[in-house]
Amino acid sequence: MQLSELVLGVDTGGTFTDFVLFDGESMRMHKVLSTPSAPEEAILQGIREMGLEQQGFRMVHGSTVATNAALEGKGVATLYICNRGFRDLLTIGRQARAELYNLQPQQFDPPVAREWCHETGGRLSLQGDVLQELSETDLQEIRDVVATLKPESVAVNLLFSWVDSRFEQQIRNILPDDIFISLSSEILPEIREYERGIATWLNAWIGPLVDGYVKRLQQQLPQAAISIMQSSGDTIDASQAGNQAVRMLLSGPAGGLVGASYLGRLAGRKQLLTFDMGGTSTDVALIDGEPQLTSEGHIAHWPVAVSMVDMHTIGAGGGSIAWLDAGGMLHIGPQSAGADPGPACYGRDGTAVTVTDANLVLGRLRADAFLGGRMQLDSSAAYTAMQQLAESMQCTTEEAARGVITVANEQMVQALRKISIERGVDPKAYTLVSFGGAGGLHVCALAELLGVSEAMVPVHAGVLSALGMLTTRPGRQLSRTWQGELLQREDAHIDAAFKQLATEAVAALEGEGIQADQLELERSLDLRYKGQSYTLNIGWSNVHGSAAEFHETHQSRYGHRLDVPVEMLNLRLRVRGEAHDVVIEKPAVETAAVPLERVKVAGESSDAPLYKRDELAVGQQFSGPAVVVETVSTTWIAAGWRCTVDAGGNLMLSAD
């Protein structure tokens, strides 16, 4: 679908808020410092600076409100309602230890304090038979608890609610209208009461915050039609987003993967290994044509069983703080200097050394070219802060800066290995794609550490998550448990079950103005060998075809197949509207650019050429060491690497 209206992609990060405006023909990029305590303030500032206050436009927003609330433990007062005997379910969890051999593991507070967990009746069996009625006495006790505790939200998670939701609906009907309510039968109608309970509680715990934020944004931008990015990479209308807060935990990062996938296809690369390095964290992922989805994601130490892009996040970004432990070992993050005060070089009274300061001290980042020159970096402040770290490390300032970069690179490459090599995927078959404001400064080093011979710094890499918002599709991800041996089911019955799921999704998207004949349906099953706990997601064709594909996938993934029945656990349906076409402007430069100047970079025997990216011509080639600056990011091309500008303006890097 071709966009003909003004569309604004907005990605709120921990340090910067990024904007990409598309008018149907050309793009405009913008960045402002984030305002974490009130994210909408940075958005409104950017819209003012872009001159959009009086114009109507459609906005697709990747928000960190849900993510930050969950990570910082700042949800609202939430009452958790469960069946009798299951008050401690969320505390006990799976009894799995994150560090098996650690005799003193970190202790975490329970998700919900015991006094905020209320037990009631309304218990069903797996077959849907009533084992215990939900009596009027039970309902009155719930009313009394709500009146006493005065919660802002309520999470209801009854056993086998995915078979029959009547008892959860009864509880909703007696709760006050001003309380935010999450029912497990609506949030995650799947087997596994712990994962379902966590998802339902998370949705209730952060839902009022997301709902309040979105409503404030809508009130302050009455001229905008706002959609919110979901963790799956699909969008949802802002009016519906508050009730689905748990599906927004990877809202911003999902935009980056959608953008990387889109630009990768345009460049003829479908197998991508991506890393998105922003100011606060780095997200890594594997893309085969499209971003991969998982229902086994995590936020902090909690499982999140709703569908989300399959990625791994570490606390190493441009603003990550370098520090020494008691033994004198250097660490990077996860603490971040954020946007305020930010790295020492921001000149906002920050004194902590960050990765950004290290790149500036080494000369890879230019003080006068940050944000296209709109923000002058303080080289003196960065050097002073690095000097103090160097004294503690008993080394030179340059050695300390190199140490910061080396440790940060090692943390990032470990994350990249985790989502590739540890899953049996050879990264050498993939193109390493870097984006985010800080990604281009580290791409060559990470490629070398991985043994990857080709890397790509896509056009508009510094705002790729915001650009990705423009290429997303409206959609919904629905699932439902239907357990049983696959070959004992009939194709027609499974088709009918998918049709029932589709009715709900299609109605929701029609409510956003999307016609049913414009929707694309992707059907899949969670399958496993009978007796197994974990599943593989397999596309639905028919019972025999899906069973055969499961055997092949299991053989490929685990190296063997079993001669036992294949069991079906969950149906999964993805319903999406049409994709939007975004025109990526081709570089208009015809003559190869010459360096603006030559700059001193630590560790290099001669000064390195500095190029402006928008002056590079298609087909232009040059070798590192070199620095390429643009409005929203900087790329450091290390010695031993060659850069070629492709037809789309992407920097294609290859090992010499």
Comparing C-alpha atoms, which of 51, 54, 11, 16 is closest to residue 35? 16
Q: Which long-range contacts (CB under 8 A, 24 or more apart) does 544-547 make?
A: 544/487, 546/486, 547/486, 547/487
Residue 357 has pLDDT above 90, yes or no: yes
Q: What is the pLDDT of residue 441?
A: 95
Show the tokens assigned to 52: 């959009």
Beta-bridge partners for 336: 320
| Burial call 363-391: b when 16+ CB within 10 Å, e when fewer | bbbbbebbbeeebebbbebbbebbebbbe
Give per-residue pLDDT as tens, 223-242.
Answer: 999 999 999 999 999 988 98
Least confident piece of the model among 156-165, 243-252, 540-549: 243-252
More confident residue, 373 or 436: 436
Q: Is the pLDDT of residue 15 over 80?
A: no
Say whether 101 sits in a helix, a strand or coil.
Answer: coil
- Average confidence (pLDDT) over 169-198: 96
Give the pLDDT score at 445.
Answer: 96
What mean pLDDT do residues 80-92 have? 96
With bands split at pLDDT 50, 70 and 90, how would you rate the model's confidence at 195? very high
- Is pLDDT at 3 greater than 70 in this prediction? no
Q: Label residue 373 by pLDDT band (50, 70, 90).
A: low
* 93 pLDDT tier (thresholds 50, 70, 90): very high
What letter would DSSP give residue 38?
Answer: S
Residue 1 pLDDT greater than 60, yes or no: no
pLDDT score recorded for residue 364: 93
Pair of tokens at residue 263: 């630009």
Residue 372 binned pLDDT confidence (cut-offs 50, 70, 90) = low
Match 């114009």 to its residue by tokens.
Answer: 55
Whether the per-residue pLDDT at 301 is higher than 70: the answer is yes
8 A C-beta contact, residue 362 and residue 602? yes
Asked whether residue 33 carries a pLDDT value surpassing 80, the answer given is: yes
pLDDT one-digit tens code per residue, 405-464 = 999 999 999 999 999 998 888 999 999 999 988 899 999 999 999 999 999 999 988 889
Q: What is the mean pLDDT of residues 65-80?
A: 89
What is the secondary structure of 524-592 as a DSSP string?
EEEEEETT-S--EEEE-S-HHHHHHHHHHHHHHHHS---SS-EEEEEEEEEEE-PPPB---PPP---SP
Residues above pLDDT 70, as percent of the chain = 99
| Helix/strand/coil for 418 | helix
Q: Decide if pLDDT at 394 tops 70.
A: yes
- At 48 the pLDDT is 94
| Residue 128, pLDDT above cutoff 90 | yes
Strands (E), 95-184: 117-120, 123-124, 130-132, 153-157, 180-183
- Count other C-beta atoms under 10 Å from residue 18's C-beta: 31
pLDDT at 412: 94
Per-residue pLDDT, averaged over 23-49, amounts to 90
For residue 2, the model assigns a pLDDT of 44
Nearest to 636 by CA among 644, 625, 650, 649: 625
pLDDT over threshold 80, residue 339? no
Q: What is the mean pLDDT of residues 102-109?
A: 85
**Least trusted range by pLDDT, from 335-339, 346-350, 406-410:** 335-339
Please give the pLDDT value at position 580.
77
In the chain the domains, ranked by start, together with CATH numbers, are: 7-70+211-251 (3.30.420.40), 71-206 (3.40.50), 320-408 (no CATH), 473-576 (3.30.1490), 597-655 (no CATH)
* Dist CA 566 CA 568 (whole Å): 7
Amino acid (1-letter code) at residue 441: L
- What is the overall mean pLDDT for the chain? 92
Percent of the chain with pLDDT over 90: 71
Q: What is the mean pLDDT of residues 70-91?
A: 93
The residue with greater pLDDT, 63 or 497, is 497
Residue 561, pLDDT > 80, answer yes
